[in-house]
Amino acid sequence: MDIANMRSTADLPSPPRWAIEMLLERHTRSTLRVQWDVHGQPTPVHKDALLAHEQGWFEGRDYVKQPDGSVDRSMTLFNIGRIAATKGHDGASIVATLADRDRALGYNKYSVRRDGGEKAYNDIAQKVLATPASQSSAAQQTPGQSPPPLPDTTRYYSLPRS
């Protein structure tokens, strides 16, 4: 078949069955993602609702450091999302908090993207809400069971406080 002589897509041959099945499977997987609508303007986490050591993350004093000494913006934002999740905030509030902190701290890791970072913030919110650390301590352990291990914080640094 010569492409130059085609008049419409009706002239195309039918796709093979395996291709249709593959596309349907990918579509199903991609639509299973949870998305929170940030257009309803949920309230970001306010720093006054945080403990002192958590405020450092929200103010940029505490951060995850890369091997070259610079701020690992994505891991730092992930940690901010984790703090919001442990405080009991829902996905929409976590997304709003991440967007706010990304801009306010000058990271601009995701906020400068075409979608304003919405996909990345949603992905982070989904991950932090799925981790056991984001659930209440009462839900995490049953009587007679030890608490879950603390995360490795060897890569977390704090700016010198003046």
pLDDT at 134: 47
pLDDT at 47: 73
Q: Which residues contact 36 (CB under 8 A, 6 or more apart)?
A: 42, 90, 91, 92, 94, 95, 122, 125
Judge whether 156 and 61 are in contact, CB under 8 Å.
no
For the stretch 127-150, pLDDT in tens is 999 876 544 443 333 344 444 455
Give the pLDDT band (50/70/90) at residue 19: confident
Longest dimension (CA), the chain: 76
57 pLDDT above the threshold of 70: yes
22 pLDDT above the threshold of 90: no
102 pLDDT above the threshold of 80: yes
Confirm whether pTM is higher than 0.85. no
Tell me, what DSSP letter sits at residue 87?
T
* The amino acid at 3: I
Tokens of 70: 């610079």
The Cα 44–Cα 25 span in angstroms is 35
Domains of the chain: 44-136+153-158 (1.10.1240)
* Region of poorest pLDDT, from 31-45, 77-91, 113-127, 142-156: 142-156
Give me the percent of the chain exceeding a pLDDT of 90.
33
Judge whether 97 and 80 are in contact, CB under 8 Å.
yes
